[in-house]
Structure 1
Amino acid sequence: MTIRWEAFLDQVQERGEYDTPRDADRAARVVLALLGAHLIGDVRAKLAARLPETFALILLNPLQAAEPLSPERFVRATAAWIDGATEKTAVWDIGAVLSTVADAAGDELMEAVLFQLPPGYDVLFGRPHPGHRP
């Protein structure tokens, strides 16, 4: 089931403690554009189907990545794309967006998503695997 745009943005805004929905929207757009470059095929399509249309289109038409970014480089890239962001605030932005994405995706789809990503992304999604410390 697809989550409504308002509900998705409300969750991101609450988790990121953003002052305005516009700030939450900006973070969601950047993080999803970067994430989309790392997912392929059915997994990306299934994840997009769980997101509001605006964000699904961003995920399906991502920024181009020459190679998969490690979680650390993903954080740096996010910080570079968000005006005034630092790596510390980017981690906060990523957590707010990706934890909301993970809730929308559900456990089974999240396993498939994490399988396509370099090790360490489970922590960015707020779903560290048991026994793994960041």
Structure 2
Amino acid sequence: MAIAWERFLTQVQDRGEYATTRDAEQVTRAVLATLGAHLVGAERKELAEHVPPQCRPLLMVPVPATRPLSPHEFVEAVAVLIEGATSETARWDAGAVLSTLADTTGDDLVHRILTQLPPGYALLFGRAELA
């Protein structure tokens, strides 16, 4: 069952220490849109079932990425979508959203998602990187 939009945003706002819910919404939309382009198959569909309905279109982007992004490139792609963001703030933003996402979906799905992504993403999801 999906978490409510307001609750999800409140968790992102708390983790990211954002001043407003609007700020939390902006970073959530940027991070999930970037992530959605890099997931495929059952994991993307299952993830979409765990997020608020407002997030589903972001994850189910019709055009997949042409190549996998390294965690650094992912953060840079997020920074482009957030007005005034830097690499450092975008890394913070990605961590706030992805760790909230990980906590709402559970370890099994997070593990399957991480296997689709290049090494180094676990920390953005608030998880230890396993060798």
Smaller-chain TM-score bracket: over 0.9
The RMSD of aligned alpha carbons is 1.3
**What's the TM-score, normalizing by structure 2?**
0.95
Cross-structure match for 2:5: 5
- CA gap of 1:63–1:16, structure 2 versus 1, over 3 A, is farther
* 1:81 counterpart letter in structure 2: L
Check the 8 A contact 2:120/2:129 in 1, yes or no: no
| Partner SS state of residue 28, structure 2 | helix
Q: Greater shift after overlay, 78-87 or 121-130? A: 121-130
Q: How many residues are matched?
A: 131
Percent of matched pairs sharing the same residue: 55
How far did residue 61 of structure 1 move?
1.8
Separation in 2, partners of 1:59, 1:19: 25
Separation in 2, partners of 1:60, 1:66: 15
| Partner SS state of residue 127, structure 1 | coil
Gaps of 5+ in 1: none
Runs of 4+ with deviation above 3 angstroms: none
Gaps of 5+ in 2: none
Check the 8 A contact 1:35/1:62 in 2, yes or no: no
Cross-structure match for 1:117: 117
Separation in 1, partners of 2:129, 2:2: 26
How far did residue 51 of structure 1 move?
0.2
How far did residue 64 of structure 1 move?
4.5
